[in-house]
A and B are shown apart, each in its own frame.
Chain A
Amino acid sequence: MRSLAGLVRLVLGAGVPRTRDQKIEAAYLLTGGVRAARLDTHRIAANYLQHRGVDVSGFPARPQEYRFKSVIDTLDRVIDPVAEASSPQVAAKVAEDLTRALRRHAEEPARALVRQAAAVTGGSWARVLTGPTSCSFCVMMASRGPVYESSENAVRSGPGKTMFEGTEVAAVHDGCDCVTAFVPKGSKAWEGRAQWLALQKAWDECGPDGDHRADDDARPDRLVFRSWWEQTVRDGKGPHYIAPSMPDAAPLPAASKPSMSKQAVKKPSVKAESKAEVARRLLPGMEKILADLRSQGLPEDDPRIVWHKRRIDELRADLEHEPAVPLLKTEKILVAANSGGGGGSLEDNGPTRIARSEGVPPITASGTGGPPKPPDRTRGMLGPGMPDEFGRFGDFEPPTTRSDIEGFSIEDAVITLDGDGSYEAALLRHNGDISKARMDAGHGYHGYGLGIKISEFPEGWSPADVVDFANAIVDSPSWAEDDTTADGFYLYGVYRGQVGTLAIRPYGRWMIASVIPDDLRYNRLRD
């Protein structure tokens, strides 16, 4: 799989293919690489099954044929037709998305072979996590354990209730690093069993009266589970749910135990690590484990060696793409300066800005930053010296005050970045068809690199940054506009150079119904 990432970089080295002819040329180069990788994973999976006592002699010697059109379709999907072709950022994003997609294609034969073995032998298979920050969709699927001996059982058994009749229960997404583990019939000694039981317990605790669900939380179980998992990752406890034999597991933090209290679930998050920071932390351990495995005399095609090599390549690539200058080091951020709003430009919410220096918390609208601490408002927003009324914006004056708008929480920001689970549910409904799932996506999915929504926050923005972003725009909007359809309004603004739109709605209470990292007013001017 090492060569796949390199091949993508090589093919895109001449530029992102835009025309049909360019895409066909790129697809010719890529298809052979994917076919070779599929042969590898098929062979590795056969070895893996043999070591677990499965007679694979009757299984297909080669994976299912991989079509040229699959690469063309993938290129069409990951290349934004209106993005700037010569931009290095665009090229890097296309390379990342393409590699993730083609890796999924390359790994599919291994997953398919394990599923086939389960069906033929009367055993089962289970989704097992390997990444300490696996997505909540995968974690939910992993919590179902070895229930996948047949699609019927997968639909009707286990804790994951978002299955639908007739859908592909083995759906995986681009970038998915789950392993499909074979579970011999009646076996209670398979990789990941203890972690599955822990995840199953966590799922149960997200149900009614569960420890992971607040008393007033009426969300569906899967959303409560998602919040629990996000908090678990933020607490650095994701590795607790990875089998020790899964080599991607990060070292556990010292003296850490899985959090089980409702209070812990609601604890504000710490700032997320960047990819480069994660890579720098994990690489030494990964390289040491790889050296240890090699010293044991394992062949280079041993699944653990292959897996380590691939992850080390990915981590090194993350280090290579580290920005030369830390994003926040010299940035200037906005402080509330527009007394009562009104008529700011699109590029700047007001004349007063302060320098944000590294290590010094920013003065933010939410009051989470450093001195001087702004005065508290009654709910949610805190603004330094800001009046509670928004003031007028042309002919429009927002029909509510800042303090009457419900505060934007870390949990809200996590959904803004990672989505509300609707896309994942749609992915299952549509048998993994990404384009159809995108058309059913609900709120959020604005995190960097997801590729689900048009507008994404900059790389490295954490949920805490998004909370600051929302609060900064409420405190210092550059403009506001009515929306009579919904009896609500839009606020526009800029924070740390990122333009944004907030949809404020009176749905039962005044709330920030949506946070969009794009200025819709600017879009209109561009029309």
Chain B
Amino acid sequence: MTSLRDWARNLLDRYAGDLSPEILGQKRRLIDMGEQALVAQDLIVFGLKRHDLSRADLDTAREYAAYGSFGKANQWITEQLDLELSRA
């Protein structure tokens, strides 16, 4: 499984065109500071709203959620991912 940091970077690169330069820069700095979990969960929510996360992304996100990587939002994100997976 790709590391959470690399996966967050990959998601960010894919959504870069849809984000403002300020937010893009902010999230890149967060990843550099080791806050990849916050960036990943924000982008998961962004992707869930647009229903454009791939099955592989959903599976990866679900796996990290199983490790409890998304802090206080972990349970809520898990529920949203399961909902999206049931639609996929």
User: What are the 6 closest A-B residue pairs judged by CB atoms, nearest first?
Assistant: A443-B71, A442-B69, A508-B76, A507-B73, A439-B3, A486-B42
For the complex, give the distance between the alpha carbons of A512 and B73 in Å. Answer: 9
The answer to whether A485 touches B38 (Cβ under 8 A) is no
Is A2's CB within 8 Å of the partner chain B?
no
- Using a Cβ–Cβ cut-off of 8 Å, how many residues does chain A contribute to the interface with B? 47
Residues of A within 8 A of B33 (CB): 453-455, 516, 518
Q: How many A-B contacts if CB must be within 8 Å?
A: 119
The answer to whether A440 touches B23 (Cβ under 8 A) is no
For the complex, give the distance between the alpha carbons of A436 and B20 in Å. Answer: 30
Interface string of A402-432 (1 = CB under 8 A from B): 0000000000100100001110011000000
Residues of A within 8 A of B77 (CB): 507
For the complex, give the distance between the alpha carbons of A486 and B43 in Å. Answer: 7
Which residue on A lies nearest to B70, using beta carbons?
A: A442
For the complex, give the distance between the alpha carbons of A426 and B6 in Å. Answer: 14
For the complex, give the distance between the alpha carbons of A222 and B74 in Å. Answer: 14
For the complex, give the distance between the alpha carbons of A365 and B63 in Å. Answer: 37
For the complex, give the distance between the alpha carbons of A64 and B20 in Å. Answer: 54
The answer to whether B68 touches A442 (Cβ under 8 A) is yes
The answer to whether A453 touches B34 (Cβ under 8 A) is yes
User: How far does the Cβ of A120 sit from chain B's closest Cβ, in whole Å?
Assistant: 35
Residues of B within 8 A of A90 (CB): none
For the complex, give the distance between the alpha carbons of A438 and B22 in Å. Answer: 26
For the complex, give the distance between the alpha carbons of A222 and B26 in Å. Answer: 32
The answer to whether A440 touches B25 (Cβ under 8 A) is no
CB within 8 Å of B: which A435-449 residues: 436, 438-445
Assess A421 versus B68: contact at CB under 8 Å? Given A452-B34, A483-B42, A523-B29: yes
Assess A520 versus B26: contact at CB under 8 Å? Given A439-B36, A440-B4, A485-B45: yes
Assess A507 versus B76: contact at CB under 8 Å? Given A219-B68, A420-B71, A422-B69: yes
Assess A513 versus B72: contact at CB under 8 Å? Given A439-B6, A520-B30: yes
The answer to whether B73 touches A524 (Cβ under 8 A) is no
28 examples of A-B residue contacts, CB within 8 angstroms? A219-B75, A420-B69, A420-B71, A422-B4, A426-B67, A436-B3, A439-B3, A439-B6, A440-B67, A442-B67, A443-B38, A445-B34, A481-B22, A483-B26, A485-B23, A485-B27, A485-B43, A490-B26, A505-B73, A507-B72, A507-B77, A511-B73, A514-B38, A516-B33, A516-B35, A520-B29, A524-B22, A527-B29
